Amino acid sequence: MPSPGLSKSTLLGLGGGLNLLETQRKIAEAKAQQSMNSQVRPWGMKINDKKAPVLPLDASGHFDLKAMMDTGIIPRRETANSKAIQRSKQAATAMKPAAAEKKPLKIDDSVPADFTDPTKNPYFDPSMEVKVAPKSRRSRHLKFVQPGKYVDIANQERAKAQLEKLKQQITESVKKAGMQTEFDVSDKVIKRDAPPAVEWWDAPFFANKTYDDLDNMTINPSSYETLVTMYVHHPVAIKPPSETNAVAVVRSLMLTKKERKKMRRQARAEAQKDKRDKIRLGLIEPDAPKVKISNLMKVLGDEAIQDPTKIEAKVRKEMELRQRMHEKANEQRKLSPEERRTKILNKLKEDQKLSNEVAVFK
């Protein structure tokens, strides 16, 4: 089989009596020409005979561009900044041995003798118990307050105060209704704050914060100049425990007609409320319905329809009974002539305690 790349004239020339050496030389030239033609592209660019470099991959299987730039597969762009970074890296590597030889920094907690000597250090005071050189301590982590912590504490305090106030109101209402025997409500149930050992305005004057120091202490006015100032503080007046539940003293004050009506109305409303409470608790029987001719049909209903004549007579009888009881109560409250005279004399004597009115004639 003829060698590829040999022309027809070459093959004819071989059969024209050429020797073996010339034939081998021609074949070698034809092979070299053929290899050059296969390596040259149509536009004249030569193909690199070197093998393609192995591209590095990262852990995820993608191409590692940084490793390519480090190995030189991708050429780096030479700029002024990159050259400066390279010079700084070289300087850092050159300084590494010197940095390795540097010793670690130690804090010396000892205090020099010159610092604690009052003759050399006029600012040093040996009587003060302040550490001159504080020792190093461990850093503690920050403890943040949870949101709503102090709001919950305030709500608990408000609930306790409201409960104590409610207990006191119940106790007062029970005492006012006269039901101490039915309910075991005493002053011991209500919690009250204990009095302080010393009042806050007297606390700065006592060393032990108690009034027992009054017997042993000596009063030196010059030492209290910073505590006693020109400003006067008036504490809130606190009623003694004996007067807390005492009956209020009614002062003799001339009231107008409108004010007297108002006080009478309030007293009647309070008495009616106490009566309703006793009826609700079952202490007294409820009053019979107050039937009149005007509300006859509304109160009795079917009974009035069955026998209206009988019901009307019964209602009129009850109305007369109520009228007689009302007049009887008025007569019982009315003072006799002797009692009225005694009342007037007692009032005159009470007025004479304050002042005496004297008429002088010339």
CB of 213 closer than 8 Å to CB of 207:
yes
Task: Examine the pLDDT at 330 and tell me if it is beyond 60.
Answer: yes
- What mean pLDDT do residues 141-168 have? 89
Under 8 Å CB-to-CB from 13, ≥6 apart: which residues?
A: 26
Position 3 confidence tier, pLDDT thresholds 50, 70, 90: very low
SS3 63: strand
Q: What is the mean pLDDT of residues 22-49?
A: 66
36-40, 55-59, 194-198, range with the lowest pLDDT: 36-40
Report how far residue 17's alpha carbon sits from residue 30's, in angstroms, rounded to the nearest whole number.
19
Reply yes or no on whether the pLDDT at 176 is more than 70: yes
Helix (H, G, I), strand (E, B) or coil at 40: strand
What's the angle, vertex CA 206, arms to CA 204 and CA 208, rounded to 5? 115
Which range is least confidently modeled, 12-21, 167-176, 269-278, 348-357?
12-21
Structure tokens at 59: 């852990």
**What phi and psi values does residue 324 have, to the nearest 5 degrees?**
-65, -40
Long-range contacts of 258-263 (CB under 8 A, 24+ apart): none
Q: Are 64 and 58 in contact (CB under 8 A)?
A: yes
d(CA 270, CA 258): 19
Sorted by sequence, the CB contacts under 8 Å of residue 233 that are 6+ apart come out as: 201
> Is the distance from CB of 124 to CB of 116 less than 8 angstroms?
yes
Q: What percent of the chain has pLDDT over 70?
A: 73
Q: What is the mean pLDDT of residues 314-343?
A: 93
Q: What is the pLDDT of residue 75?
A: 73
pLDDT interval class at 4 (50, 70, 90)? very low
CA 145, distance to chain mean position in Å, is 9
List the one residue out of 90, 86, 55, 87 whose CA is nearest residue 73: 55
For residues 234-244, give the mean pLDDT.
73
Residue type, 85: I
CB 195 within 8 A of CB 187: no
Nearest in space to 49 (alpha carbons), one of 61, 36, 39 = 39
| 343, 335 Cβ separation under 8 angstroms | yes
* Contact yes or no for 204/233 (Cβ under 8 A): no
Nearest to 271 by CA among 182, 178, 185: 178
> For 47-57, what is the mean pLDDT?
65
pLDDT of 261 over the 70 cut: yes
- Pick the closest to residue 8 from 30, 25, 28 (CA basis): 30
Is pLDDT of 93 > 60?
A: yes
Using alpha carbons only, give the angle 110, 113, 114 rounded to the nearest 5 degrees.
125
Which residue has tokens 């034939």?
Answer: 23
26, 10 in Cβ contact below 8 A?
yes
